[in-house]
Amino acid sequence: GAVVSQHPSRVICKSGTSVKIECRSLDFQATTMFWYRQFPKQSLMLMATSNEGSKATYEQGVEKDKFLINHASLTLSTLTVTSAHPEDSSFYICSARRVDGGSQYFGPGTRLLVL
Amino acid sequence: GDSVTQMEGPVTLSEEAFLTINCTYTATGYPSLFWYVQYPGEGLQLLLKATKADDKGSNKGFEATYRKETTSFHLEKGSVQVSDSAVYFCALRSGGGADGLTFGKGTHLIIQP
């Protein structure tokens, strides 16, 4: 149990377009989901924390108008990269925490390439 | 702010060798400490954790002890297998109540037969 999926696994888009990434908890309900970003050979950096039914909390330096997060249900959170630029190219990873608390379960990640 | 430093990789060992991957941290308060493993093509999986000083986390032959005096959480395994080849991440969760994790850069472990 405790499987988290992400879709798409990789996406290539043109500069200026928007890209939506989905994160789903497949076999459990998650009140809290987290979005991380990972650059090559770097650590995962927490971007934001989203709680079901409320606004996401963004880490310092992360533009909330650029990275739109929606956590509409207990099993789905989405990250939309708006007006993407080449510097937004990265590996985006989500994680979900069960309703009853405890460990975070990670998705396999989405690789975004902006041309 | 919080930070995690772990040894750079790749680390290449022969099967049945002893493994140590060093991890040190900087944090306010009393963080919880974690080791995550990422196998090729898969998401991060929790390997083990410790929530307070002197706790020892263990799983699948791996273990790590929360050392507050040295702010360390080194990962060890007595005899590694080829199937242990993966990227290992040390992480902490601040004791201040924030739930997001602070990660190290990851250590790529390669075990040769």
Judged by a CB distance cut-off of 8 A, whether residue A100 touches chain B is no
How does residue B97 score in pLDDT terms, banded at 50, 70 and 90?
A: very low
The structure tokens listed for A92 are 């985006």
Could you report the per-residue pLDDT of B34-83, keeping only the tens digit for each? 999 998 878 889 999 999 999 999 999 999 999 999 999 999 999 999 99
Instruction: Provide the Cα torsion A40, B92, A61, A107; round to 10°.
Output: 60
Cβ-Cβ contacts under 8 Å for A60 (sequence gap 6 or more): none
Interface with chain B: mutation pick from A5, A104, A110, highest number of B CBs within 10 Å: A104
Note the pLDDT of residue B95.
Answer: 63
How far does the CA of residue B108 sit from the closest CA of chain A (Å)? 10
Average pLDDT estimate for A15-35: 94
Is A109 strand, coil or helix?
Answer: coil
Could you report the per-residue pLDDT of A26-59, keeping only the tens digit for each? 999 888 999 999 887 778 899 999 988 888 999 9
Residues in chain B closer than 8 A to A109 (CB atoms): 43
- Say if strands B23-26 and B75-77 run parallel, antiparallel, or are unpaired: unpaired
Q: Which string of DSSP letters, residue by residue, matches B16-85?
A: T--EEE-EEEE-SS--EEEEEEE-TTS--EEEEEE-STT-EEEETTEEEE-BTTTTB--EEESS--GGG-
Write the residue in A32, A36, A107 that is nearest to B99 by C-beta: A32
- Mean residue pLDDT across chain B: 92
Could you report the per-residue pLDDT of A68-109, keeping only the tens digit for each? 999 888 999 999 999 999 999 999 999 998 877 677 899 999
How far does the CA of residue B32 sit from the closest CA of chain A (Å)? 11
CA–CA gap between residue B112 and residue A29 (Å, rounded):
40
Write the residue in A44, A97, A109 that is nearest to B99 by C-beta: A97
Tell me the HSE value of A22 on the side-chain side, using a 13 A CA sphere: 11
